[in-house]
Structure 1
Amino acid sequence: MRSPVDLGIAVRGNIGSICSPRLELQLKSTSTDVLDENAIRYPIKLKNYDDLRITNFAIPRILVVILIPENLADWLQQSEQELCMKYCGYWVSLRGMPQTQNSTTVTITIPKTNQFTVVALQSIMQGIGQGVKP
């Protein structure tokens, strides 16, 4: 059985009451127009939805959807001075979401305010360090 985890992130040492907090991510990317004024509406497979909504994982899991240009050659620019990726990633926790009657996919709504930035990741990790799961 394939795990929905694509990437694990850990912090060394204590952040609050938890020593070496960890976070697991499922990563998705799309060039499809899923962005509206306030949110990203992204369809995921029902199995992934069910895996990500489980509440009793020891390590919290989130979904990160990365919007990319339609032409993949425009996605990444690299030089010795920088690495630039277009466009933006957005995150959401599906922990505790309700079961669905859908049979193949579930469309997830991610607020545009949930950009997956360095500051957002630091905040998530600090929360986990305090025992708060995203």
Structure 2
Amino acid sequence: MTSRTIERARLDIGGWGMDPQKQKEEFSNAFIQAAAAVAGFSMSKPVPDDDSIDWCLHDRGGRGTIRSPRLELQLKCTGSPDFSEEALRFPLEVNNYHDLIPTNVMVPRILVVVAVPNVIDEWLLMEERGLLLRSCAYWVSLRGWPPSNSDYSVTVHLPRSQRFDGAGLGAIMDRVRNSELP
């Protein structure tokens, strides 16, 4: 098999054998880790994920009214983002939706959706000047939203003004640190 045939086979299956949905999951995990690193927060991954929480972010120290605040994330990724002028519309599975709406949780929870280009080879670009992750992410708190009667999914609107990057994550944690909700 020539290298050209191998490259064509890799492109035909969407990678070196990993399912494209798994690739989205792994890329979005790397994106969240990059944002947390930029913001200066540590992370942990609940195992097993049986409460729709993929990541927990931690800050340390006593600034604010809450010492060592935490934030829990449900993480999703889409390669076919549905943007309006004001929001990213995302169909969230109803079980995840119901796990994110309770008001009686100790640690605030948010939904983060990472949007990537539809072509996997465009997700990451490297040049001598730097590394570019071709994605963007938005967040929303579903706390207190009404239960859904849907059997499958609920379309959630993530405001485009609520970017999940280093600065956005820092602002969210500042609110949590001061006993406010995200």
**Scaled by the length of structure 1, what TM-score is found?**
0.92
User: Structure 1 residue aligned with 2:62, among 14, 36, 42?
Assistant: 14
For residues 28-39 of structure 1, what are the structure 2 equivalents within 5 Å? 28-39=76-87
Aligned length, in residue pairs: 134
User: Any idea what SS the aligned residue of 2:103 has?
Assistant: coil
Which residue in 1 is equivalent to 2:72?
24
Deviation at residue 4 of structure 1 after TM alignment: 1.0
**1:59/1:81 Cα in 2 relative to 1: closer, same or farther (>3 Å)?**
farther
**1:24/1:79 Cα in 2 relative to 1: closer, same or farther (>3 Å)?**
farther
Contact 2:124 2:134 (8 Å CA) reproduced: yes
CA distance in 2, matches of 1:8, 1:78: 29
User: Any idea what SS the aligned residue of 1:18 has?
Assistant: coil
Which residue in 2 is equivalent to 1:91?
139
- Give the helix-richer structure, 1 or 2: 2
CA distance in 1, matches of 2:63, 2:71: 13
CA distance in 1, matches of 2:128, 2:74: 29
Structure 1 segments unaligned to the other structure (5+ residues): none
For residues 85-124 of structure 1, what are the structure 2 equivalents within 5 Å? 85-124=133-172
Which of 20-29 and 117-126 deviates more? Answer: 117-126
**Scaled by the length of structure 2, what TM-score is found?**
0.69
Residue deviations 1:42-68, cap 9 Å, x none?
A: 001100000001111111110001110
CA distance in 1, matches of 2:133, 2:103: 33
User: Structure 1 residue aligned with 2:179, among 128, 131, 134?
Assistant: 131
Deviation at residue 79 of structure 1 after TM alignment: 6.0
CA distance in 1, matches of 2:126, 2:111: 26
The alignment-based identity, stated in percent, is 40
Contact 1:15 1:21 (8 Å CA) reproduced: no
**1:26/1:79 Cα in 2 relative to 1: closer, same or farther (>3 Å)?**
farther
Contact 2:75 2:113 (8 Å CA) reproduced: yes
- Give the strand-richer structure, 1 or 2: 1
Bigger CA radius of gyration: 2
User: Any idea what SS the aligned residue of 1:119 has?
Assistant: helix
1:67 is the counterpart of 2:153: no
Deviation at residue 81 of structure 1 after TM alignment: 5.9
Contact 1:6 1:24 (8 Å CA) reproduced: yes
CA distance in 2, matches of 1:80, 1:28: 30
Deviation at residue 78 of structure 1 after TM alignment: 4.1
Residue deviations 1:83-123, cap 9 Å, x none?
A: 32112100000011011221210000111111112221111
